[in-house]
Structure 1
């Protein structure tokens, strides 16, 4: 069974959001790296550094998850139920990515101030 257009659209959106999240988390990590030597005892800077590093790991894991889903669905043996389950899982992942993206932007805004 071919991957439905709605699922392809969801995957494209996920990949776009993940790319943006990766770019923003990298920017945040670079900003923290610049500020950390000035404030070596600042626990919040250390937390931001750890958070941005975790976000980058999350992005990598999410990309691998998408690839696994695509490989699983690329076979002609994928059932309608498996496709629906994949759509639900990827929709949940999109929600997590969007929440993460919002948090990353909040922290970057604080760092810019």
Structure 2
């Protein structure tokens, strides 16, 4: 994997994470409103926990991206290290997309 492809992958990953972070934050606001009206609603408590976990996932993913970038910033990064970083980032992108889809699904339920 060449560095330009890696940069493109990182940009896409950052976009997915930013969207997911915004939606999860919005979800937390909505769930808090509903919990104030229905404090013992198990489903809302579960959504609150999920959105909180999503925000932790986003922060952790951002840190992982920074670690990859720092590791690749050195001129002595081998082709194997670049390939491995690309594979790890691709896996992370898949996780981010799955998380985004689930956040959207829950947000749709909350809006109806």
Q: TM-score, normalised by structure 1?
A: 0.97
Q: Unmatched 5+ residue regions in structure 1?
A: none
Q: Which has the higher helix share?
A: 2
Q: Post-superposition shift, 1:93?
A: 0.2
Deviations 1:34-71 (A, max 9, x none): 10011111101000000000000000000000000000
Q: Unmatched 5+ residue regions in structure 2?
A: none
| Count of residue pairs brought into register by the alignment | 111
Q: TM-score, normalised by structure 2?
A: 0.97
Aligned Cα RMSD in Å? 0.7
Q: Using the alignment, how far apart are the partners of 2:102 and 2:9 within structure 1?
A: 22
Q: Post-superposition shift, 1:82?
A: 0.2
Equivalent in the alignment of 1:60: 59
Q: Using the alignment, how far apart are the partners of 1:49 and 1:100 within structure 2?
A: 15
